[in-house]
Amino acid sequence: MPRIRVKVDEDLCIGAASCVTIAPETFQLNAENKALVIDHGNQPDGPTYERWLEVTEEEKENIVLAAQSCPTLAVFIFDEAGVQLFPEM
């Protein structure tokens, strides 16, 4: 299973919630209306804007789709080697 690092730039996030709509298992809004990164619906080690996730190919595709849907491109996805998968550089 691929391991990816998902990060939300809280300064860019405006709480549009499209990531939450597409990938509710990975994103959840906090009280500041910013998207937290969650792990399959859970928050081991508490709330955070950045997390390593172990996901299936299908889940990874959906997380990329969620990142693509963000109107402020606030969601960043990196692979295990640290290469930025989205937004494309």
Partner 1 sequence: MHYVIIGGGIAGTTAAEELRKLNPVSEITIVSQEIHPVYSRVLLPHFLKGKVPRERVFLKKVSWYDEQKIEWLTGISVVQLDTKNKFVGLSDGRELPYDKLLITTGGELRTLFSDARGVSYFRTLDDADHLQQLLSERTEKSLAVVYGGGFIACEYINIFAHYQIPFSVAFRGPYFWPRLLETEAGELIQKQLLSHGIALHPHSVFSEVVGEKELRAVKTSSGEHPCSLLGVGIGIETDFSWIQEAGIETGSGIKCDEFLKTNVADVYTAGDVAEFFDVIVGRQIHIGNWMNAMMQGRHVARTMFGQEKTFELVSSYATNVLGLEIIFVGDVSKEHADEVKVFGSVQSGGVVQLFARAGQLVGAVLIGRNQDRAQVTKLIQSRSQISVYDFHHF
When asked if residue 32 is in the footprint of partner 1 (CB under 8 A), the reply is: yes
Q: Is residue 1 part of the contact set for partner 1 (CB under 8 A)?
A: no
CB of 69 to partner 1, least distance (A): 5
- Could you give phi then psi for residue 6, rounded to 5 degrees? -115, 130
Q: Which is nearer to partner 1, 48 or 69 (CB)?
A: 69
The phi, psi pair for 66, rounded to 5°, reads: -65, -40
Phi/psi of residue 75, nearest 5 degrees: -100, 125
Angle at 61 between CA 26 and CA 75, to 5 degrees: 50
For position 15 contacting partner 1 by CB under 8 A, the verdict is: yes
Is the distance from CB of 74 to CB of 33 less than 8 angstroms?
no
Does the protein bind partner 1 through residue 14 (CB under 8 A)?
Answer: yes
Give yes or no for residue 61 binding partner 1 (CB under 8 A): no
Q: Which residues bind partner 1 (CB under 8 A)?
A: 11-12, 14-18, 21, 28-33, 69, 71-73
